[in-house]
Structure formats: C-alpha cells, structure tokens
C-alpha cells in the first residue's frame, strides 16, 4: 500500500516513515526539501498518484497571523483537493489536543481551520490530536539565554514522546478512517512549570522558574483543562523521566524543535 507522508522529514514524519517502511508499506516522504510544496500545490499530484493513504504532519514555519492561518488553510486545501483527484482512501491529519479550547491563540485558531477543512472534505479522514511532545518540553527554554528568571504557567500538561505519536499514526494507517477524532497523550500529567524546571535542571540550567498564571501559551492563557485530553485518549507508554534519561545518556538524539513563539515569558 502506498503511503505519502507530508512533512516526512520532520520530527514525527521521519519517525513515521521509518515505522511504515519497517511494516512493509510503499512509503513516500515529501516536503519542500523534496520538491513538494503543499502551500503552493507544487508536486502534489505526482506525489499522490496511486496513494492509498496520505498522512499530514506538517507544521507552519511562522506562528504569527496572517502567515500561520494562510499556511494551514492553503496546505490543507491543496492536500485534500489533490487527494480527491488521486482517489486517496484515507487522509490522516495531525493536530493538537486543546485546539478547540485555545481560540484566543493565533496558532490554535489556524489549527482549527485545518481541522474543519479535514472534517468537511470528501476524502475519508482521521483527525488525530496529540498533546505536546517531550521534545518540545525539553527545549522550551533556550539554553544560555542570559536571563535569570523563567516565567511559565502552572497549567497541567500530559506530554507524549514523538516516537509514540509516530507509532500511533502507523497503526492508524492500517485502520479504516475514523468518524471521531483520535486523541493521544503521554502516561503522566505534570504542572508545566515543574516539568520544564525538571528538564532545565537535568541540563544543569539552574535558573529559577516562577509559576506565573499570566504567562501565555502561543498567546493564550492556560488552565488545567485546555492541554489535557477531556475524553477517552490513547495513552502512550513512554514516561518523560525515561525519555529524558535516554536523551542524557545519548541513547536518543535531542532534535531541534521549531517553536518560533515560545510559550515561556522569560524576564
């Protein structure tokens, strides 16, 4: 079965491609670096020809308006239209837990646009919402920033390893489209400020972290309910403490994670 992973060279996409190849699928990883641009539509028809499933794990290069909404609207429109022309049987789109509850944020308003386009499309689909990745949590505060105090909201989070998200997506490739969104979360809940301080200390960053309810997350104020699953979720197996130990030991590489509008207010 041919599977096209759009954003297949990124954090989740590269892991998903490896898993799908191991499962015996005919996998094509596409992104702008391979000459396929979902925003302009360039190369999409050729890439999707003969595809059974398309998995969209792209993310916007800018999280500011109007660029972020333009990215998700145009890329989703183009992917879904090309998928319909190609006769794609299953479109899987990766979104974020809490999207519908964070509409004061430009980024999450843009993700809501993406979700609506997927849900209204003629192509059979599965919408997947994942919590924040471990990789993001461990790199949320740039090292050696020269600041003494880090302000973070004390809201509850339930982050997940990118590799576990890739594993769930690989399983969905072999499943029929879902009428209801699928949510994925890690096994443990934490206060955001406490989790990030733990990660900072593990990298010998001893700056103080202040629990600040007014610190914003992509422009939104958080509470304990917006970033955690509110219904039944698929709980991934990897614990943050184990993942962080593997990163520190060199067993897994800590990738660069793109977050141009960091959630922390550092002062």
Render pLDDT for 205-249 as a digit per residue (tens, 0 to 9): 888 889 999 988 878 889 888 999 988 899 999 999 999 989 888
Report CA torsion sign: 233, 237, 239, 240.
negative
Q: List pLDDT tens digits, range 65-102.
A: 999 999 999 999 999 999 999 999 999 999 999 999 99
Which CATH number belongs to the domain containing residue 254 in this structure? 3.40.50.720
Please give the Cα distance from 255 to 249 (Å, whole number).
14
Q: Are 233 and 159 in contact (CB under 8 A)?
A: no
Res 257 pLDDT > 60:
no
Count of structural domains, the chain: 1
Please give the Cα distance from 165 to 30 (Å, whole number).
19
User: Looking at residue 204, what is its pLDDT?
Assistant: 77
Mean pLDDT over each residue of the chain, to the nearest integer: 90
Res 266 pLDDT > 60:
no
Res 174 pLDDT > 60:
yes
Q: Are 160 and 183 in contact (CB under 8 A)?
A: no
Q: What is the pTM of this model?
A: 0.92
Res 56 pLDDT > 70:
yes
Continuous segment of H or E residues that includes residue 197: helix 192-202
Q: 124 to each of 140, 164, 178, 182, how far by Cα in Å?
A: 35, 24, 8, 14
Pick the closest to residue 111 from 87, 148, 76, 143 (CA basis). 76
DSSP secondary structure letters along 122-155: SS-EEEEEE--BHHHHTTSS-TT---SEEEE---
Tokens of 14: 């590269």
Mean pLDDT in residue range 104-108: 92
Top pLDDT among 258 and 148 is at 148
Q: Structural domain of residue 202, as residue ranges?
A: 2-266
Pick the closest to residue 173 from 11, 13, 9 (CA basis). 13
């Amino acid at each position: 079965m041919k599977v096209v992973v759009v954003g297949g060279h990124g954090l989740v996409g590269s892991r998903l491609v490896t898993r799908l190849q191991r499962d015996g699928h005919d996998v094509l990883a596409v992104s702008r670096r391979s000459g396929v641009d979902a925003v302009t539509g360039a190369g999409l028809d050729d890439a999707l020809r003969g595809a059974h499933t398309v998995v969209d794990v792209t993310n916007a290069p800018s999280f500011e308006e109007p660029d972020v909404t333009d990215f998700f609207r145009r890329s989703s429109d183009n992917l879904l239209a090309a998928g319909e022309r190609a006769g794609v049987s299953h479109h899987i789109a990766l979104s974020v837990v809490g999207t519908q509850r964070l509409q004061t944020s430009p980024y999450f308003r843009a993700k809501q646009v993406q979700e609506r386009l997927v849900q209204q499309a003629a192509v059979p689909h599965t919408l997947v919402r994942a919590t924040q990745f471990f990789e993001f949590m461990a790199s949320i505060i740039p090292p050696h920033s020269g600041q003494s105090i880090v302000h973070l909201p004390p809201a509850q989070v339930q982050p997940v390893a990118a590799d576990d998200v890739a594993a769930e997506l690989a399983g969905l490739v072999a499943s029929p489209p879902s009428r209801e969104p699928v949510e994925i979360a890690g096994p443990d809940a934490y206060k955001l400020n406490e989790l990030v301080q733990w990660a900072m200390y593990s990298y010998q960053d001893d700056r103080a972290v202040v629990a600040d309810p007014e610190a914003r997350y992509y422009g939104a104020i958080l509470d304990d309910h917006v970033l955690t699953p509110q219904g039944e979720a698929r709980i991934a197996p990897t614990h943050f403490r184990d993942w962080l130990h593997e990163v520190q030991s060199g067993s897994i590489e800590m990738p660069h994670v793109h977050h141009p509008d960091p959630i922390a207010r550092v002062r």
